[in-house]
Structure 1
Amino acid sequence: MATDLSASFNEQYISINTKLKKRFLRKPNISEATNEFIALAIQCEHSEQPSFAGQTYIGAAKCEASAGNFLGEAEQHLAAARQFMKAEKKLASMKFDSPDRENLEAAIGCYMWALVKYPEKSPLRTSILLELADGLVDLNYKQEALAYYEEAVNTIEDKTMKLMCMRNFFNLLLECGKHDQALETANEICDSNFHIPERILTEIQVSRVLLVLLVKPDEDTKSESLKQLVDNLLNDEDTDSTPFNTDLRLKLQSIMIASGAQDQHSLISVAADSKQHLTAQQKDLLDTLILEQRIE
């Protein structure tokens, strides 16, 4: 069945290309060829053959390029990218190894080709970068996704959207164990002029407390807000920048004191009581802190 489909696809694809090459007395009908490529791509999609669909959308993109329709070219490359990404995810879901990442590399190439067709500040560039980054995360290529996430964050001007994307980027940095960069990003979020909802601010500030214990930045490299956060906690001062409930505040103070005193027994004990307040990434940070103190 797959062989029959492959043969049928090849025949139709070659037929469309042949029409384009017949120049004799007139120019080829680019619009007709584009529509035929798209129709074939849709047929491949319905037949659950995303890789074939991706190749055919690239054919449509080349037609759009030859006609000077660069936005149409970008649209078709984006359609191709999504099909190649779908093909790669399909292989991953079936537990098939893909060492050469043929479909994934094709997807990345198509996303990048579409990206350059849009103006530098276009929201569509941001959407493309985030879509690619999310696809890589789904495939567990998290380290690779970081660069696209960071580039996307740098293209965003809307403050609310930028905050949400920076938070996602921050959490991905934590998952990848990039503690230094995560702390820098958290500092940037808290030092920005964004309106940060209390729930998100609490989450970021708790992570900053744990990160500063792990990273141990020099005093002169700490941001003023980070210094203030540490001082407020140690001095038990309640401010808008430390929206912790009483129990969480006490737990964080105990973690800081135990860590500073290199009291591993106390740190392990308070960690067990604290994890009910923490996110998955924060629990990992606390476990890493305990492990590093054990090694020291």
Structure 2
Amino acid sequence: MATDGDFLLRYRAVSNKLKKRFLRKPNVSEASEQFGQLAKELKQQDCLQYAGFCNLAMARCEQTLFNAPGEAMALTEAARLFLQEEKETQRLKCPGFEEHLQAAINCYSFAIKVYIELNQPVMAASLCLELGNALKDMSKLGEAMVYFQRAAELQTQVPIECLLSLGYVASCKIMTRDYDGALAVFTEMQLLAQEKGLHTPGNSLPVGAFLDIIAKCEVSRVLLLMLLQPPPQKLLPEHAQTLEKYDWEAFDSHSHVNYLTEEVFLLLQSVVMACQENDVESLKVLQVELWPLLTPEQNHLLHLVLQEMICPSGQGI
């Protein structure tokens, strides 16, 4: 395994080739290749931090050569190496200041910026998602949300990908108990899916994955409204319209929610009524019936609704 001294000697030797000399231009291309080779060797020896530094030096060389794609690739590789080093540090429970994580975030951010300047928003968005998922795995949900939201903003030309990224934002908000924020994101997603989805002639509803997203958002929004129980004077019009569809007195309500199966609609309608009547026992029965029909996240929300009904915390909008 390479020692610090070996690495530094070779790193300095390559760096010296970049110094300007009288009547002689530095061979930046050759230096970039040598930094890249040194990075590969160090990575094979599990010297991830040093390999990351070599990739950073390589990125600077590519920037000097005005090779933006090469710069972005080197920055991305450096980011992944620093991130891997941070994960290993955490796995071994070594004390530290998360300096490798910060280095990774900086490299990802610069790579994202380069791809945006290259007018490659899809590549930039993919790096945002990669970093967001890594931060989420480290339980850094607040930071992860920032990058998931950034990914969604970069994916406006690819609506289905944008909706999936917004879904990650909503999930993070639920995990951080920001139920108001999650409700707002699901509402935005539902409207976006309705607007951007592919429609068949004579059908007001989109088809395929867009319809699935609308259905998922609808169920999650109803459960969040049951959890939050906002007073009528603070109930936003779009949320009031949603709850009206589940009113038992409404005529043929299911015709207005035809993106849900009749079974899910009737059970959800029963959940709304059980919450309005504060009927804990009925809600327990409904939870069992709904369990196989909901996503894990929705089952978590339904569990929270039941817990709130049993032991109210006074939460509201």
TM-score of the alignment, normalized to the shorter chain, above 0.5: yes
Structure 2 residue ranges without an equivalent (≥5): 198-205, 313-317
Q: Using the alignment, how far apart are the partners of 1:46 and 1:99 within structure 2?
A: 24
Once the two structures are TM-superposed, the CA of residue 59 in structure 1 deviates from its matched residue by: 0.8
1:187 aligns with 2:184: no
Deviation string for 1:12-35 (max 9, x for gaps)?
A: 112111222362441221111111
Matched residue, 1:49: 47
Matched residue, 1:78: 76
* CA separation of 1:220 and 1:152: change in aligned 2, threshold 3 A: farther
Amino acid at match of 1:184: A
Deviation string for 1:248-296 (max 9, x for gaps)?
A: 2232122111111222333233223322222111122122222222333
Greater shift in the superposed pair: 54-63 or 169-178: 169-178
Deviation string for 1:92-137 (max 9, x for gaps)?
A: 4x34245411111100011112222233663132222122112212
Once the two structures are TM-superposed, the CA of residue 48 in structure 1 deviates from its matched residue by: 2.4
Q: Is the 8 A contact 2:36 2:58 kept in 1?
A: yes
Amino acid at match of 1:188: E
1:205 aligns with 2:218: yes
Matched residue, 1:8: 6
Greater shift in the superposed pair: 7-16 or 213-222: 213-222
Q: Is the 8 A contact 1:136 1:145 kept in 2?
A: yes
Structure 1 residue ranges without an equivalent (≥5): none
Q: Is the 8 A contact 1:54 1:81 kept in 2?
A: yes
Matched residue, 1:166: 166
Amino acid at match of 1:77: L
Q: Using the alignment, how far apart are the partners of 1:191 and 1:58 within structure 2?
A: 42
Matched residue, 1:101: 98
Equivalent of residue 228 in structure 1, options 221, 229, 241 = 241
Q: Is the 8 A contact 2:151 2:162 kept in 1?
A: no
Q: CA RMSD in A?
A: 2.4
Amino acid at match of 1:251: L
Q: How does 1:274-289 map to 2 (within 5 A)?
A: 274-289=290-305
* CA separation of 1:186 and 1:220: change in aligned 2, threshold 3 A: farther
Once the two structures are TM-superposed, the CA of residue 223 in structure 1 deviates from its matched residue by: 5.8
Matched residue, 1:150: 149
Q: Is the 8 A contact 2:257 2:265 kept in 1?
A: no
* CA separation of 1:149 and 1:22: change in aligned 2, threshold 3 A: same
TM-score normalized by the length of structure 2: 0.83
* CA separation of 1:247 and 1:119: change in aligned 2, threshold 3 A: closer
Equivalent of residue 38 in structure 1, options 27, 31, 36 = 36
Q: Is the 8 A contact 2:141 2:176 kept in 1?
A: yes
Q: Is the 8 A contact 1:129 1:149 kept in 2?
A: yes
1:58 aligns with 2:60: no
Greater shift in the superposed pair: 221-230 or 122-131: 221-230
Amino acid at match of 1:247: E
Q: Using the alignment, how far apart are the partners of 2:256 and 2:161 within structure 1?
A: 22
Greater shift in the superposed pair: 105-114 or 260-269: 260-269
Tell me the SS of whatever aligns to 2:196.
Answer: coil
Once the two structures are TM-superposed, the CA of residue 224 in structure 1 deviates from its matched residue by: 5.2
The count of residues paired between Structure 1 and Structure 2 equals: 293
